Amino acid sequence: MTANDKREILVFAEQRKGKVHPVTIELLGKAIELSNRLPLMVSSVLMGRDVQGEAQELIYYGAKKVYLFEDSSLYSYDPILYKTNIVALTKEINPYAILFGSTHIGRSLAPRVAASLRTGLTADCTNLSIDEDGAFIQIRPAFTGNILAHIKTKTSPSMSTVRYKVMQRAKRDEKREGTIVKMTPLPNDPSWEVIDERVIEGINLPDAEVIVSGGRGLKRAEDFKMLEELAKLLGGVVGSSRPLVDEGWIGKEHQVGFSGNTVKPKLYIACGISGSPQHLAGMRDSEMIVAINSDPSAPIFRYADMGIIGDIYEIIPKMIEKLKRR
């Protein structure tokens, strides 16, 4: 088999405002790993306006081929325009698999592409592999994260959306070479008219290096201020378990867990969090986990590296004081 015969593993490079989303680099990292198990060629598809620079970056991150669709109509996301072009490309190159980030764009675009191709799609995967028979294996948490389902696809290509912040990023290397293939976008009417597009400046939990999270041990919504002060001193942000988000004490963008954000910061401090399976599913891969809880039997202690049994209302102010004194 020559290099040209290799089937492709195609990574959808999601861009927002002309910048490629970091989940794309994680998908490339995984695709490179898989391409060593089967002879596969890592390729990527990028749509947007004036994104040649980003296409080159994708090559530095390991794509051997970047299919570049440039048109002003592709600057903003349009599920139908994006779908139409990806489906046409897929029919031309017949890839082995297509990977999307499990972002709002990926999770809304991939179903349109999959249904159009009449192929299988697995949502929100946390691992991908290839077995001895060359079959694509997709692993995803199910049943609120208590079990892992291993899923195969009977049709081709296999398609997956992959959770952000679980795969290793590809390494950037300017010596890498690849081809940018300029594609002609298919003419099509937009499916919606974007009247206004704005970016909200909020916290970005998955990208935070330090997270101080509160759970049911908090007595009042105002007490998040105490966690915020601690988080600020550590250069971090505030997270929350689901009950407090449901209570309306803090916004959903702060929620850590199965139905919220998956995070793996350098430091995760769980304050008054018992550690339900749903919460653990969103944070157990953090590098260092510190738990503070008055209940010695709280499951969080079994998943933490360091734990203090005690009252968060006594311990957190002391910790704030110690940090301020430095």
Partner 1 sequence: MNIIVLTKVVPDIERVKFDAARGVVDRSSAPQEINPFDLNAIEEAVRLKERHGGRITAISMGPSDVEQTLKDTIARGVDEAILLTDKKFAGSDTLATSYALSQAIKSTGDFDIVICGEKTVDGDTGQVGGEVSEWLGISYLPYTSKLDYEDGKFKARVELENIIYEVEASPPLLVSVTKDINTPRLPGFREKLNARKAQVKKMDAEGIEADEGRLGFNGSPTWVYKIEVPEEGQRDCKIYKDPESGLKEIMIMLESRDLI
From candidates 93, 151, 166, 180, binder to partner 1 by CB under 8 A: 151
Q: Which is nearer to partner 1, 63 or 208 (CB)?
A: 208
From candidates 19, 134, 143, 247, binder to partner 1 by CB under 8 A: 143
Q: Which is nearer to partner 1, 41 or 128 (CB)?
A: 128
In sequence order, what are the beta bridge partners of 2?
none
Report 84-123 residues binding partner 1 (CB under 8 A). Answer: 103-105, 107-112, 114-116, 118-123
Segment (H or E) for 133 = none
- 3-class SS of residue 154: coil
Report 180-209 residues binding partner 1 (CB under 8 A). Answer: 191-202, 204
Annotated binding-site residues for FAD read 216, 241-242, 255-259, 272-279, 293, 311-312
Residue 19 interacts with partner 1 (CB under 8 A): yes or no: no
What is the closest distance, in whole angstroms, from the C-beta atom of residue 59 to partner 1 in the complex?
26
What does the alpha-carbon distance between residue 60 and residue 39 come to, in Å, rounded to a whole number? 20
Q: What are phi and psi of 169, to 5 degrees?
A: -65, 150
Kindly provide the residue ranges of all beta strands, DSSP E only, lying in 202-282, ordered along the sequence. 210-214, 237-240, 267-271
From candidates 18, 92, 155, 179, binder to partner 1 by CB under 8 A: 155
Site track 40-69 with partner 1 (rule: CB under 8 A), x = hit: ------------------------------
Q: Which is nearer to partner 1, 29 or 260 (CB)?
A: 260
Report 222-261 residues binding partner 1 (CB under 8 A). Answer: 233-234, 252
In sequence order, what are the beta bridge partners of 271?
214, 292
Residue 55 is classified by DSSP as H
Residue 305 interacts with partner 1 (CB under 8 A): yes or no: yes
Q: Which is nearer to partner 1, 3 or 147 (CB)?
A: 147
- 3-class SS of residue 310: coil
What is the closest distance, in whole angstroms, from the C-beta atom of residue 314 to partner 1 in the complex?
6
Pick the piece of the chain touching partner 1 (CB under 8 A) from 5-13, 46-54, 76-84, 214-222.
76-84
Contact call for residues 9 and 35 (beta carbons, < 8 A): yes
From candidates 1, 3, 5, 147, binder to partner 1 by CB under 8 A: 147
Contact call for residues 214 and 224 (beta carbons, < 8 A): yes
Report 281-300 residues binding partner 1 (CB under 8 A). Answer: 284-285, 288-291, 296
What does the alpha-carbon distance between residue 192 and residue 284 come to, in Å, rounded to a whole number? 40
What does the alpha-carbon distance between residue 273 and residue 58 come to, in Å, rounded to a whole number? 40
From candidates 50, 91, 134, 149, binder to partner 1 by CB under 8 A: 149
Residue 215 is classified by DSSP as -
Residue 303 interacts with partner 1 (CB under 8 A): yes or no: yes
From candidates 210, 212, 230, 231, binder to partner 1 by CB under 8 A: 210
Residue whose C-alpha is closest to residue 137's, from 187, 178, 77, 96: 96
In sequence order, what are the beta bridge partners of 68?
46, 182
Considering only the C-alpha atoms of the chain, give the largest distance between any 2 of them, rounded to a whole number of Å: 67
